[in-house]
Structure 1
Amino acid sequence: MTYIWTPPKDVVDKANVTGFIQAHGIKSYQDLVRQSTSDIRWFWGNLPDWLELEWFSEPKDVYDASKGIEWTRWYIGGRINVAYNVLDRIVKRGLGNRVAMTWIGEDDRVVQLTYNEMLDHVNRFSNLLVDLGVKKGDVVAIYAPIMPETVVAMLASMRVGAIASPIFSGFAPEAVADRLRMSEAKVVVTVDGYYRKGKVIKLKPSSDEAIRLSGVQAKQVVVRRLNVDVPWDESRDLWYDKAIASKRPEFEPAETEAEDPAILMFTSGTTGKPKGAVISHAGMLLQPTKEHFFNLDIKPGWTGSRDVLWWITDLGWMMGPWMVVGSQTLGASHLSLEGALDYPTKDRVWAIIEKFKVTHLGFAATAARLLKALGRETYESHDLSSLRAFGNTGEPIDEDTWNWVVREVGEERRPMINLSGGTEIMGCFLLPSPVVPLKPTTLWGPGLGMDVDVYDDDGMPVRGRPGYLVAKKPAPSMTRGLWRDPERYIETYWSRFPGVWYHGDYALIDEDGFWYILGRADDVIKVAGKRIGPAEIETIINSHPDVAESACIGYPHPVKGEVIVCFALPKPGRTLGPEQLEQIKSIVAQRLGKPFEPEAVVPVNDLPRTRSGKIMRRIVRDAVLGKQVEQTPVLDNPDSVTAVKEAAEELKKLMK
């Protein structure tokens, strides 16, 4: 019988959404979701007031879809600014001395900014941007990890009416150059360097090279983190601390239109050039804050709460800005970490949770598996009583890891807010609330205001078998086209099922109505005419006691067209010999049926993953098939490509 997590009564009674439902005469969370998705004008029209946002000018209408659903405009005539709502508005509510952000260096250096201090820095940086010639609509690129200075730079860009463009700090210069060239960035913000596992990573030389390769004439503001020697161009480069010290601590925020771009986030570009998602001020505020309040159950600071959200991510991934804006709009706090989760001590994560009273911990499933592999003693020795909820995103979570988080670490008292969406919507299509029962690995169902469904190849709703995740109605946070590429926007999201947003995820709604993400649609493996998501197979493989992680791909076969092959990473101190590999194949056949038994399971010394922990199956597939691996800049462990190629040689022997 499938285990179902049931929320404790005190969790339900104290939840934000419970109070909201009771105040508005709604019977249940399910009814709220139904009403919000059937009547999006009611939901999105009232949401700014429910979240207590402040407009400079109230909108005259909620939305206008007269040019087609693909080009829906929101909050017509409304003027609003992200930076004002996450700073000035919070200070006005008397929370200026509350901590907005905590940053922890690998050397144990801690920096905390109160809302007053952050507002002061943002105002000074806003004046700097104006002095550097930045105008409304210009792009300010931020190529650095989440740090107090980079959060300030992001919010200051929005404050002046410019567009913040965070770039993943692990990208190589060529990948950064593509993004600088496409955005025509006027200013680049970077850092001299940072620590990772005891090593000094100098980032400014990479930023210098990226600017050179891009050809943009950008000024460069450099955060002084390590105070190490770096190349310097007096005509272009400025130290962050010196540059803002002389600037005025007052700056009136630009009264930006609701539809004006606030942030430009480029996807990793798995095929072709990166896609630039353009998120508006209204969308940037509403989607993260909605999810923080109704789904993560982060309490507003003006209620007396001191909630702290720590999502293990980078500023260049959507979850970084999502964490900053969502938590600060509610007057809560967020935390970020330099370096690795298990260095210099294996219990680093749990020690930080205890010390800083973290209430909400979010991660990618791979990060959770890492924490699990570090051993029970790493968390049992710490007081984790402050924790109220967990979150997962970036990849489907396997059942074994989900159970470990919810049942062991969470002691069945804390919900797992498993969520899925994307950069292109600055939030989620699917996620639960703390008040609903959950099956292992489920995302429960649609987010508030997100009218989603699962379609088959013919564009018909499908239940009980996998299909494609789609959205049938617009939402304010959907990308405003793609950056200077409207044709690609239509082709990518609106052409497969006309008038319906095609998200590219492979999904399933089971017989009990629980929703699951099975992986990216382009990762789906087709065996003898039957499709299956790799995550479904990997969940079973990862349940084997000797397996830490796995990655499954489709492999060309002259007769069957495609067969399933899997690469399994053993747990520390374990080996995967012929007996274990046969056991794994047998388990998959027993659980999924003989047609889905892997043709081969091959041990591997490492699997390619991003810094946020997401396993990159596309890189595995390209490495195995002998294609050029184009995504190595996103990898936290580039040597893993060699490990996969070595395993691929063993695979070839097995496939003969």
Structure 2
Amino acid sequence: MSAPDPHVSPRLTPADHRALSDEAKRDPQAYWRKVAQRLDWIEWPNKIHDATNGWFADGTLNASVNCLDRHLATRGDQTALIWQGEEADNIIRMTYRDLHERVCRMANVLREEGVKRGDRVAIHLPGVTEGIVAMLACARIGAMHVVLFGGFSAEAIADRLADSGAVVAITANVGRRGAKRIPFKATMDTALGLRPLSVRRLLVVSVTDDSVPMQTGRDAALEPLLEAAMPSCDAETMSANDPLFLLYTSGSTGKPKGIVHGTGGYLTWASYTQEMVFDHQPGDIFWCTADIGWITGHSYVVYGPLANGGTILLFEGMPSSPHPGRWWDVIENHKVTTFYTSPTAIRALMREGDDVPDARNLSTLRVLGTVGEPISHDAWTWFHDVIGKGRCALVDTWWQTETGGIMISPIPGAVKEKPAAATLPLPGIQPVLVDEKGAPIDGAAEGVLCIDGAWPGRALTIWQDDGLFQTTYLKPYPGHYFTGDGARRDEEGYFWITGRVDDVINVSGHRIGSAEIEDALATDHAIAESAAIGVPHDLKGQGIVVYVVPRDPSAAEMESRAVKAITAKVGRYAVPERVLVVPDLPKTRSGKNVRRLMRKIACGETEGFGDLSTLANPDIVPTLIEIAQRATS
């Protein structure tokens, strides 16, 4: 493979963006018919979209074929997947031909195990190639993959296995996280023993030489089965609206919701957005750091880049293990051109200092991206200036599990960036701001973010509960898709995400977004990270409590510095009731702050927190409780 060119011109211009947006709004049927041509269809869809039948209803295709087979004639020997293990010299490179054969073998193994069209297959793996192979194998035979995040507890896994009705599960003997061993098989064994489940076969990937107990009649080592399987496998012909996968996301009640995405619409959207937002070019090395257990991993580790014939990178290790700068080493060694990660990861990397990335050659980078939460001005600037050297495009993307892919984002060459702004919608997306009564708000304003009209990537439903899907997303503001997020639109029409609607704090009638307070705190470089929480207040309705993590644990007067920053940036009305100086914030393993937990602790609760096994740092909880109790004593 020739070296990527970091100086290639972007595909789109501002005029192109305006023209595409106008075309999509003027004649959406014609626009999406043209976009659908980016896929290979077995039966071309004559029905593009209607409210009753959804997207491309009479079209048929196969997602695995679109990600693999159609590339074999022109790029069969191109690298499709680079896997970087924890050790620097542990590298696997798979061409499209290699990956196709591996997926076919896996698909044949699943068929031999009795998996048929419409069945669910649970995938519970660390960052190894078999996860991607298993996803594409399920797609090939028409089974729905249900990827389970590796950090889930046995109880959380059992809940999802029971709800999905998975018939086969794939796990690992162990996972590796630095020097630690994560007991994947043991956790799955516990999950399968908690209650009667429909899983009849457990396939085990050997990530290390560690031996694990195998239950006779149920468990089988996967590798011998793959070696014995045939290297070719006919693909199922799927309707565009046949489910491709089921992915669980947290619900407001705490019960996970099984989000169902279809085949034709979702794959169209993943391909369209990956090319447009990341300015995908031949020769790109695309690294999205997300776990495949989350939607970002589905859309931008697997389906989007591979549908577009790209080269993806998968890294087994952690950002700073065994030494600071490990991620930058990976970028330098593999000549990564596109790097897509989370603001949480960026903040952690900032703490290591500028000299760490400055010691590496990151000149192949062309596009940087962020996902998962609003990014602060401070973190955006560091990422742009220190990592991108001021020459890389930086796309701060807004989207959700339910949207299937990116909705609002800068586009290299076409939509100018503003630090910490989501900016403009992609062509074909029509965001609207509404007030609490659902009335649209025009011009520069702040309100509830909804989406008008339809787009191919929207989820089909919630598994076995379409009523909940309607109630959650379509009924709150009739005629609109309700995102659950608040946003501000500036004079140029740019959108700024202010946080979840339930993260908007109402202090004496003043509605203050948690992101607004956190952005203010980020202006003080002594503060590495923060979270603003609303708590009940007898007089004001709600008061504000902020958690701050200092860059220097020994720094003094952090409380007064935090108050000063908020007062200067937001105003006196936003001054917090309490400032809790803490060593870290509780986060999921995907990097999101667990605000519900922080809210409970700030309100004085000391128990009833539910399952904490999905936290990356559960040991921080007792420390936060102790600090909060001292602050109120």
Question: What TM-score do you get using the length of structure 2 for normalisation?
Answer: 0.95
User: Who is 2:45 aligned against?
Assistant: 59
Would you say 1:648 and 2:628 are equivalent positions? yes
Would you say 1:286 and 2:268 are equivalent positions? yes
Would you say 1:17 and 2:12 are equivalent positions? yes
**Structure 2 counterpart of 1:264, which letter?**
L
**C-alpha displacement of 1:452:** 1.5
User: Who is 2:422 aligned against?
Assistant: 443
RMSD between superposed Cα atoms in Å: 1.7
**C-alpha displacement of 1:328:** 0.7
Task: Map Cα deviations across residues 234-265 of structure 1 (whole Å, 9 max, x no partner).
Answer: 21111111111111111111010001000111
**C-alpha displacement of 1:623:** 2.9
Quick check: 1:144–1:315 contact (8 Å CA) kept in 2?
Answer: no
**C-alpha displacement of 1:214:** 4.6
Equivalences for residues 594-605 of structure 1 within 5 A: 594-605=572-583
Equivalences for residues 325-344 of structure 1 within 5 A: 325-344=303-322
Quick check: 1:194–1:338 contact (8 Å CA) kept in 2?
Answer: no
SS at match of 2:565: helix
**C-alpha displacement of 1:651:** 3.1
Would you say 1:256 and 2:238 are equivalent positions? yes
**Structure 2 counterpart of 1:418, which letter?**
D
Which residue, out of 505, 525, 532, partners 1:545? 525
Would you say 1:132 and 2:113 are equivalent positions? yes
User: Who is 1:488 aligned against?
Assistant: 468
Equivalences for residues 372-521 of structure 1 within 5 A: 372-435=350-413, 436-462=415-441, 463-521=443-501
User: Who is 1:354 aligned against?
Assistant: 332
Quick check: 1:446–1:452 contact (8 Å CA) kept in 2?
Answer: yes
Q: 1:267 & 1:209 partners in 2: Cα distance?
A: 22
Quick check: 1:82–1:284 contact (8 Å CA) kept in 2?
Answer: no
**C-alpha displacement of 1:159:** 0.4
**C-alpha displacement of 1:209:** 1.3
Quick check: 1:270–1:631 contact (8 Å CA) kept in 2?
Answer: no
Task: Map Cα deviations across residues 179-215 of structure 1 (whole Å, 9 max, x no partner).
Answer: 1000000111111112112111121110111122252
Residues 405 and 83 (structure 1 numbering): CA distance in 2 closer, same or farther, change over 3 Å?
same
**Structure 2 counterpart of 1:197, which letter?**
G
Q: Which runs of 4+ in 1 moved over 4 A?
A: 10-13
Q: 2:401 & 2:479 partners in 1: Cα distance?
A: 20
Which residue, out of 289, 295, 298, partners 1:312? 289
**C-alpha displacement of 1:512:** 2.3
**C-alpha displacement of 1:278:** 0.7
**C-alpha displacement of 1:147:** 1.8
User: Who is 2:77 aligned against?
Assistant: 97
User: Who is 1:265 aligned against?
Assistant: 247
SS at match of 1:638: coil
Quick check: 1:100–1:333 contact (8 Å CA) kept in 2?
Answer: yes
SS at match of 2:476: coil
Residues 251 and 263 (structure 1 numbering): CA distance in 2 closer, same or farther, change over 3 Å?
same
User: Who is 2:219 aligned against?
Assistant: 237
SS at match of 2:461: coil
SS at match of 1:28: helix
Task: Map Cα deviations across residues 481-524 of structure 1 (whole Å, 9 max, x no partner).
Answer: 11000110111001111121101111111122211111111111
User: Who is 2:132 aligned against?
Assistant: 151
Would you say 1:563 and 2:553 are equivalent positions? no
**C-alpha displacement of 1:576:** 4.4
Quick check: 1:496–1:502 contact (8 Å CA) kept in 2?
Answer: yes
User: Who is 1:5 aligned against?
Assistant: none
Greater mean deviation of Cα atoms: 264-273 or 362-371: 264-273
SS at match of 1:427: coil
Structure 2 stretches of 5 or more lacking a match?
none
Which residue, out of 21, 32, 35, partners 1:44? 32
**Structure 2 counterpart of 1:132, which letter?**
E
Task: Map Cα deviations across residues 297-318 of structure 1 (whole Å, 9 max, x no partner).
Answer: 111xxxxx22111111111100
User: Who is 2:181 aligned against?
Assistant: 200
**C-alpha displacement of 1:28:** 3.3
Residues 317 and 592 (structure 1 numbering): CA distance in 2 closer, same or farther, change over 3 Å?
same
User: Who is 1:274 aligned against?
Assistant: 256
Residues 564 and 464 (structure 1 numbering): CA distance in 2 closer, same or farther, change over 3 Å?
farther
**C-alpha displacement of 1:11:** 9.0
Which residue, out of 10, 21, 33, partners 2:21? 33
Would you say 1:186 and 2:167 are equivalent positions? yes
SS at match of 1:506: strand
Greater mean deviation of Cα atoms: 260-269 or 605-614: 605-614
**C-alpha displacement of 1:387:** 0.4
**Structure 2 counterpart of 1:40, which letter?**
P
Quick check: 2:358–2:386 contact (8 Å CA) kept in 1?
Answer: no
Question: What TM-score do you get using the length of structure 1 for normalisation?
Answer: 0.92
Quick check: 2:553–2:583 contact (8 Å CA) kept in 1?
Answer: no
Count of residue pairs the alignment pairs up: 622
Quick check: 1:365–1:614 contact (8 Å CA) kept in 2?
Answer: no
Equivalences for residues 604-619 of structure 1 within 5 A: 604-619=582-597
Structure 1 stretches of 5 or more lacking a match?
1-9, 22-26, 300-304
**Structure 2 counterpart of 1:448, which letter?**
P
**C-alpha displacement of 1:631:** 4.9
Q: 1:478 & 1:630 partners in 2: Cα distance?
A: 30
